[in-house]
């Protein structure tokens, strides 16, 4: 008997290109999962249309309509309860979640961040990477904990920073990396290969001493 298909809820705030990469990987048979709902905290998020076009139910929980984070998260939890997904995937979700929310979903809540964490937590990662003069940049997927952008790292995709790179050019290179990284990590989770025990990431039952590393080859980045 095959394992039940992983049921995923995706939380977005905007464009939704990572959501699209996940939906594409599922459609291509590379990710045995089903996106059962997409929730945005922004009513105008383009990713909502993308989800609807793929036949995925969508909901908006507009943070501006709530007095505080706790009230916003109660509404978010109510939406999530409607589907009771196995895994919550943050894909460009730009609200900080409270420690209570994160604790309730511990081990079942993933995020992607556009830097090689712990470098450049927070916003404007590409501009900051360029200003710092680093030779490598990239994306990280991690389990979410109360430490913003600080949860246990699962995998990273490294890309080179090239001489003369602009912020837009670098952002595009990192985004392509994200689109390869997130479906891969989700496939591990869907296959039951990935877990969080205390603050340690387990892959195939073994503690990761460091995040799994992927890198671009020259050819991939023409």
List, edge to edge, every strand of the sheet that includes 136-143: 58-60, 33-40, 6-12, 87-90, 109-113, 136-143, 153-160, 212-215
3-class secondary structure, 77: helix
Active site residues: 113
Say whether residue 112 binds ligand GAR (CB under 6 A): yes
Say whether residue 175 binds ligand GAR (CB under 6 A): yes
Say whether residue 173 binds ligand GAR (CB under 6 A): no
CA–CA gap between residue 8 and residue 140 (Å, rounded)? 19
Say whether residue 113 binds ligand GAR (CB under 6 A): yes
Say whether residue 18 binds ligand GAR (CB under 6 A): yes
Task: Return the residues of window 114-133 that contact ligand GAR according to CB under 6 A.
Answer: 114
Say whether residue 16 binds ligand GAR (CB under 6 A): yes
Out of 17, 40, 58, 145, name the contact with ligand GAR by CB under 6 A: 17
Say whether residue 91 binds ligand GAR (CB under 6 A): yes
Q: Least CB distance from residue 48 to ligand GAR, whole Å?
A: 11
CA distances from 26 to 5, 90, 211 (A): 11, 17, 24
Residue whose Cβ sits closest to ligand GAR: 92
Which is closer to ligand GAR, CB of 73 or CB of 178? 178
**Residue 83, exposed/middle/buried by CB under 10 A (0-12, 13-18, 19+)?**
middle
Q: How wide is the angle at C-alpha 99 spanned by C-alphas 140 and 45, nearest 5°? A: 60
**x/- track of binding to ligand GAR for residues 31-70 (CB under 6 A):** ----------------x-----------------------
Enumerate residues 6+ apart whose C-beta is below 8 A from 102: 109, 144, 145, 146
* Tokens encoding 146: 């109360």
Residues that bind ligand GAR (CB under 6 A): 12, 14-18, 47, 91-92, 112-114, 175, 178
């Amino acid at each position: 008997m095959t394992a039940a298909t992983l049921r995923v809820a995706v939380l977005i705030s905007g464009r939704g290109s990572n959501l699209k990469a996940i939906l594409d990987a599922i459609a291509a048979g590379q990710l045995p999962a089903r996106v059962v709902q997409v929730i945005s905290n922004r009513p105008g998020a383009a990713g909502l249309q993308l989800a609807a076009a793929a036949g995925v139910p969508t909901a908006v929980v507009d943070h501006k309509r709530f007095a505080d984070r706790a009230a916003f998260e109660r509404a978010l939890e109510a939406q999530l309860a409607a589907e009771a997904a196995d895994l919550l995937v943050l894909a460009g979700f730009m609200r900080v979640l409270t420690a209570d929310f994160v604790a309730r979903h511990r081990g079942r809540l993933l995020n992607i961040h556009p830097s090689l964490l712990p470098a450049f937590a927070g916003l404007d990662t590409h501009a900051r990477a360029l200003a710092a003069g680093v030779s490598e940049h990239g994306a990280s997927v991690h389990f979410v904990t109360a430490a913003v952008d600080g949860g246990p790292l699962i995998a990273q995709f490294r890309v080179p920073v090239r001489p003369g790179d602009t912020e837009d050019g670098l952002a595009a290179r990192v985004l392509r990396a994200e689109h390869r990284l997130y479906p891969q990590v989700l496939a591990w989770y869907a296959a039951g290969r990935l877990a969080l025990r205390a603050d340690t990431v387990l892959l195939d039952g073994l503690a990761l001493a460091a995040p799994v590393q992927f890198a671009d080859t020259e050819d991939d980045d023409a």
